[in-house]
Structure 1
Amino acid sequence: MNDTQDRSERLIKIVRQWSADYAKITRDTQDRPCTEADFDPIANVIDKENFTRIGVFKDEADWPLCLEKYLQFAGTSIWTDKLRYINSVNNIVFQELEETITRPHGENVIYTMSVFEFNDDDKVTALRVYMQQVQDVDNVLILGTENK
């Protein structure tokens, strides 16, 4: 294997672990308050000084605001994913998921394409999320839609 292949595999592993950690957080915080410490595994792979998340409604968030939204979401929903596609090109990982968001009054399945951008230290500097869903969804809070 060469250095490019090694890095590609390493970045893909980071993204898949992010998904696994996020799913665990949403499961573990259903019966207790969600805290910033719950998100330490994700925070550890982020360049917190330079991070930007652009959500499905072009809503931009730095790490503190993103964490605030994650904290809101995690305690209200259980999130699971099914990997549909993942690939790495240079410092970018493209991940397509089928996401299931479950709340007490319903479940929603959405398709997302997330683009993770990394710096030279393998820290995430940007996350851009694109989504497909059925047109009428009012039973599930989608991160970034809380004011819609």
Structure 2
Amino acid sequence: MGMRELSEVVGEHTGLSRKVLEYGLTTKRLVDSAKNPGFSAADWAPLAELVAVDEFERVGNFKEVMNWAEYVEFLTGWATSAEWECSFKRITEKPGLVFLELEERSEVGDYKSVVNSVSVYEFDEAGKIRHIDVYLQMALPENDMLKSYEGVRISE
């Protein structure tokens, strides 16, 4: 199964799945525009339209917890210095929940990463995103901390 861009698959989905894909497309557009002079936290307003900003919580890949204001501050700092793109793998919708699987590629300075991600989006009654949990698969870091993994086969 070849991976496709979010823009290629968004039209094939409806409901909450489509909202999650639009969230990803909006994020990509804003990350790209964040390199422009004057980009600020206020520029995340199109993303906020999809979010229950008063109750929003995101638990990231290091178990860090952020509310909407904290997440926007984080996004602004990251997006102004990062390149980010992703490819669609799979999306699964259950009542009030969407599971989105992506391959994410990012570059910050000299650091490049390619990770597999699953993000779990939880929605409120109004169809706004109120919670996101992020889970990542990534290559082993280049250091001695993980010697116990030597010889373990790594999925491509």
TM category (shorter chain) comes to: 0.7 to 0.9
Contact 2:34 2:76 in 1 (8 A): no
Deviation at 1:78, TM superposition (A): 1.3
Contact 2:58 2:66 in 1 (8 A): yes
Aligned to 1:143: none
Aligned to 1:73: 78
**Structure 1 segments unaligned to the other structure (5+ residues):** 1-7, 138-148
Return the structure number with greater relative CO, CA threshold 8 A, min gap 6. Answer: 1
Match of 1:133 among 138, 142, 146: 138
Residue identity over aligned pairs, in percent, reads 24
**Amino acid in the other structure paired with 1:74:** A
Aligned residue runs from structure 1 range 47-66, under 5 A = 47-66=52-71
SS at match of 2:92: strand
1:86 corresponds to 2:62: no
Q: Deviations along 1:31-82, whole A, 9 cap, x unmatched?
A: 4243122211111111111111001111111111111111110001011110
TM-score, normalization: structure 1?
0.82
TM-score, normalization: structure 2?
0.78
Contact 1:87 1:93 in 2 (8 A): yes
SS at match of 1:53: strand
Aligned to 2:102: 97
Contact 1:23 1:79 in 2 (8 A): yes
Which entry has the higher C-alpha Rg, 1 or 2?
Answer: 2
**Amino acid in the other structure paired with 1:57:** F
Match of 1:119 among 110, 117, 124: 124
1:41 corresponds to 2:42: no
Match of 1:21 among 26, 38, 45: 26
Structure 1's consecutive aligned runs of 4 or more residues displaced over 3 angstroms after TM superposition are none
How many residue pairs get aligned? The number is: 131
Q: Deviations along 1:71-110, whole A, 9 cap, x unmatched?
A: 1100010111101010100000000000010234242111
Contact 2:122 2:132 in 1 (8 A): yes
